[in-house]
Structure formats: structure tokens, C-alpha cells
Structure 1
């Protein structure tokens, strides 16, 4: 079995690099839908919200790979996850509410409170799960994943490989059944139940957990990295003719399918990249700048939609063509620069301070796990 890299913030650097590309997919999705389209590119990223599915699977992989075989009190684990996501969430919510106020858009205080308590995705009303910072809905799901992770790890760690295989098959099949099973709900309720509700999205996290456990025990994914990348690209290209044939409002449109059916494909990509790192092979995803951009990706995810909203309010939507492309470029540069600033001045220092201030592990010769790829 290949030895596991030693302690460090980026023991699986390719996964850190992949985080940037997943965040970029979400950013281009929002630019296409909220600003204006760029020929060919917008069609490819029209369902780029699937990048959130990537992050849900990645969280499961990283947490399982990091904490399998390591004894750590649940309160310490949960405090560290709080330190990881909450400070920047609070700052982004404040920034988002300020922009809403400048725009003259009323924001409900209960929606802001629910967002800060990371329970907003449990409410079926759109004004609640998007009220504070629309992009932050996924952190409500992540918070739920963190709560159930210690129990999941206790249940699945140490099992035979066939248990992990059948668990992966089971959660994938449940997703395939839920998608048509909830088709009778109203469009708004169906969208919430499939696209936002932490309970249903947890299927993607569980898939990541069993994949992470398998990787930790030396499993080699049957799909090489280049083929996994091709699967992801091919999947998003296949959504183009589907979107031309079926309106997004219908339950069998590619909107929800792009998020639900992509989980196994993203799991293959994550596992292939991680395996390449463990084998010491170069992937092009672990360079200095890719690592840096990967670290900024969480802040970019939380901030970019606020920048888009402010820019559209101030300048209006651009004319099609070169003006739209220029608008896109400006938003990308400004939002990414803001994300880098937020990472270095808020996210990273706040996490370190809170980790030091909170409960700690009583060392007994076992390694104290540190974030490996900064999964949100």
C-alpha cells in the first residue's frame, strides 16, 4: 500500500486545486444567468450549480480520509468545523445585507438569523434559504453533514470493502428514486426538497465518506484522472441538448439532474486526483498558484454573487457580445481579489484563533489531524 503523505495543510494538493475549478464552475453559472450569456461557454456552464455537488462529495472524502483511525472528541471536531466556516459566513452575510440595503431590497431578519445559525436550508420558503446571502445556503447542508459525520464514521469505518460498495450503490440508487418520486410536488417545494434540503443532499456527502474511507485503505479507482475529467466535461456537454428539449420548470429537466446525477462522476474525479497525489504523480492541479486559488475558493464562492449583484445594480446588464465578456472579466477579477483578501484577513486568521481558543485534543501520541485540502 502506498504510504500516506505526512501532516500538512495540503496533503492532497490536487483536491485543493480542484476546489478552484469547482468554484469557477459556480461563478460562471451565476454570470451566465444573472449578467448575460457568452456564446458556447454559457451553454457549457448553464448547469454549473453542479459545482456545489462536487463540494458536498469532496467534504465527505476529505473528512473521512482525515479522521479515519484518529480519535478526536466530537466537540473538538465540531468546533473546528465551526471555526472553518462560520467567521467568513458571518462577514459575507453582513456584506450581502449591506448590498441589499443599498439596492433598496428588504431583507427579513428571521432569514438573516437562520442563515447565521446555519439552519436556513431547512425552511422550504425561498426567502428563508436565500435571504441572508443566497450562495450561503450550502453551508446549512454542510453543517448538517458535520453533525452526522461522527456517527457515520463510527458506523462505516473498519467495515469490509463490500459494505462501502453497497453503501455507495444504495445512496446512488436512492437519489435516482427520489428524483422522480418527488415529481408530484409543486415546483417550489420540489426544488427545495431536491436542491437545498440537507437531508436529501446528505446522500452526496455519504458517497464521499465511503470513497474517502476506501482511499485511506489503499483503494485504486478504476478511472484514471484524464478519463474522470473527460466524464465531467462530457456530462456537462450532454446537458446542452437536454436543456434545449426540456424546460427547466419540468421535473425531468437537466436542472436538478445536473446536481443529483453528477455525484458519482464527481466522486470518480476526486478519487482519481487523490490517488494520483498518493502515488506521487503530477496532475497539474497542485502547483503554487493552484493551491493558492484553491484556498481562496471558499471565500470566492461566498462573495462572487454579491459582487455580481452590486455590479448589475450599479451598471445594469451589459449589451450582448464584447460588453458582456468585459463585464464578466471585471466581475471575475474583482470577486477573486476580494476572495483572496477575505481569505488572508478574515477566514484563515479567524480559523486559527478560534481553534486555539476552543477545546483541544489531549495528545497521546496520535497525530492531531489538520485540514488537508480546506474542505468547506
Structure 2
């Protein structure tokens, strides 16, 4: 049975999605800043925060599923062509790259300043090649280090976006060439199903990755977000959704090659289930609809980008100022200072850079076809 169809406009807000995005960013920040607070003092924060921090590494899985859902929503109604691909890339560039490049510039400046103020934490400044490759999301492929560790996820995100839009463009070209709609549906379904299976096999260790940094081993997480969106719009049977979730669980439990490779697909499946629950249960939707979680959702991208460069340094600075008197209480003070500094910095960046970038991105119009939708090409996906 398919979900009831919705006709939300491209500007519709999904409060649960926004709140969940805030949860993911908060988890990642907690993981890194707790590590900064307890560095050189293992276990000083106690088991509670340590366990929560260890779960922070799974915030990325939440982000990838959410990206699949949100990007599918933004593509609904598109007139897919190479012109569309170009405009989509330009729109994503303005929306994501302007804040991202600002953080790269800030990090280079902070590296210089940190090396001057705290010699023991000094690092060599990034080379021109490292800065350029990071700015273009190709550092892994060309053998350069990430300027900030979290940048690896953006390399994946960009690949997800381009592969999805290019696939829709190619399907549209085939449609214009006279290929029957039923054939297109079959091609789209088989392609999504096979790549979903290939991806999850790569992730749990059943297959060897083709190349480090290539999107394939994380594609199943993004693809689950796509399936959830198709279900939300009423273009995907519930059975398809169930099978996709079950595949994540079975692959993790039966074939996961490490604790992380087991837990990450389970978190992926849980994220998909949580989003679906928000469609059907008002009480579930309200869980993340409060002003605090909505605020964190709004600043989540800035928080994700800044918490290492700003929050980590604030945490370490407090730790170093305390010196030999550093205790569990002071560790929590350092951790809280890092979190608050990260959130304030993210809010400032959101206001000064991210929001203007979003407004500018909206001026780049994507060609639309009415009344066709995303699923005019990518229609009910059969169970992988």
C-alpha cells in the first residue's frame, strides 16, 4: 500500500526533518568536543558523556538519509536537462560553497593564529594545492588531506547530488528519444535497486571499494532517503520501503565487519523509520518541533562546519588555562564552553553568510515542468 500523496510546494518546511538535522549536528559536535575535553585525561568526563560521544560518529548517517529526502524534494517537478544540471550545480554552489569556503578561509587564519599563540598545537599551514582541492571537494581523489576532518562528508554529498541529477537527465533524454514510460520505470527501478545492494555490500565489507572517497559505499544511505521521499509522495509502495529498511538491518547484523559497520546501517534504518513515523503520527512530529530543536536545525550546517575550528579550540583553550587543576568539573566546563562557542559562532555564520547565500541561491531558478514530478521519471521503485 502506498502512502497518501502530498503536494507540498518546494518551499514547504518539514519540522521533523529540520529538528533531526539539528540532532545530527549536535551529536557530531558532542563527539568531537568531548574528545577535546578529555584529551590527555582519558575517562575524565565519566561513562555517560563518553557513551553519548561515541554515538556522535553516527550523526553522519542521519545527515546522508536526510539529504536523500531533501534533495529529492528539491528536484520535484524539474524539467531535467543539462541546462537543469548546470543550474542545479550553480544553486548548490551558492547555497553550500559560500559558507564552506568561508570556513576554509577561517580555518587557515586560525591555524596561523593558533601556531603563534599555542606553539604546541601548531600545524603546518595548508598548501595552495590542499586549499584548492578541498574547495573543489576532490582532495581525497588527488591525495591531499582534509583541512578539517568533517570535510569528507561534503565530498560524498556533492557526488550524491550530481549522480542523482545526471541520472534524471539521462532518463529524460531517453524519454524524449521515445523510450516507453514503463521501460524508463524499469530502468530507474533496477538501477536504484542494484546500486542500493552494491552500496550496502561495500559498506559492510562484503565487497572491496573501487576507490577511497568514492560515493558508492555510502550511496545506500542517501538512496534510503530517496525511497522514503517517494513513499511520502505516494509513489512508492510500503513494501518497497520495508524491504529497503530490512536490507539495512540484515546486512548490518549478518555481515557487518566491525562495530561501526554494524551500527551505522542500523542508524540508517532507524532514521528512515523515524521520518516515516513523522508522516503518520502527529505526536511524533511534535518531538522535534520545539523552538530549540528548530533553531539547531536552522544552524546545523554552520554548526557542523564550525564546531571543530571554533569549538574545539575553545575547549582546548579552557583546558590549557586550567592546567594542573583540571578535574571532572573543569572538563565539563571546557566541554560546555566549546559547545556554546560553537553554537554562537554557527548562529553568527548562519545570519551573516548562510542565510544570504540561501536567498541568493533561490534567485537561480530551476526549469520546471508541470504537472510532472520527480517520480514522472523515477517512479515506484521495486524492492531491491
TM-score, structure 1 normalization: 0.74
1:245 is matched with none
1:322 is matched with 329
2:59 is matched with 51
1:181-260 to structure 2, matched below 5 A, reads 181=206, 193=212, 196-217=213-234, 252-260=257-265
1:202 deviation in Å?
2.4
- Match of 2:68, SS state, is helix
User: Which of 279-288 and 76-85 deviates more?
Assistant: 279-288
1:334 is matched with 341
Write the distance in 2 (CA, Å) between the matches of 1:261 and 1:169: 20
Q: Give the CA RMSD over aligned residues.
A: 3.9
Write the distance in 1 (CA, Å) between the matches of 2:230 and 2:104: 34
Aligned counterpart in structure 1 of residue 289 of structure 2, from 261, 268, 286: 286
Write the distance in 2 (CA, Å) between the matches of 1:44 and 1:56: 20
Shift of the 221–367 alpha-carbon distance from structure 1 to 2, 3 Å rule, reads closer
1:30 is matched with 32
Shift of the 40–290 alpha-carbon distance from structure 1 to 2, 3 Å rule, reads closer
Aligned counterpart in structure 2 of residue 150 of structure 1, from 146, 150, 165: 165
Aligned residues: 332
1:3 deviation in Å?
5.3
1:351 deviation in Å?
2.7
Aligned counterpart in structure 1 of residue 312 of structure 2, from 296, 305, 309: 309
Shift of the 289–113 alpha-carbon distance from structure 1 to 2, 3 Å rule, reads same
2:118 is matched with none
Shift of the 116–177 alpha-carbon distance from structure 1 to 2, 3 Å rule, reads closer
Q: Does 2:124 correspond to 1:113?
A: no
- Match of 2:124, SS state, is coil
In 1, are the aligned partners of 2:77 and 2:371 still within 8 Å (CA)? no
1:270 is matched with 275
TM-score, structure 2 normalization: 0.72
1:300 deviation in Å?
0.3
Bigger-Rg structure (1/2): 2
Give unmatched runs, 5+ long, in structure 2: 39-44, 116-122, 173-180, 240-244, 246-252, 375-384
1:100 is matched with 111
1:353 is matched with 360
Aligned counterpart in structure 2 of residue 130 of structure 1, from 142, 146, 152: 146
Give unmatched runs, 5+ long, in structure 1: 223-227, 229-238, 240-250, 370-376
In 2, are the aligned partners of 1:57 and 1:207 still within 8 Å (CA)? yes
Write the distance in 1 (CA, Å) between the matches of 2:7 and 2:267: 29
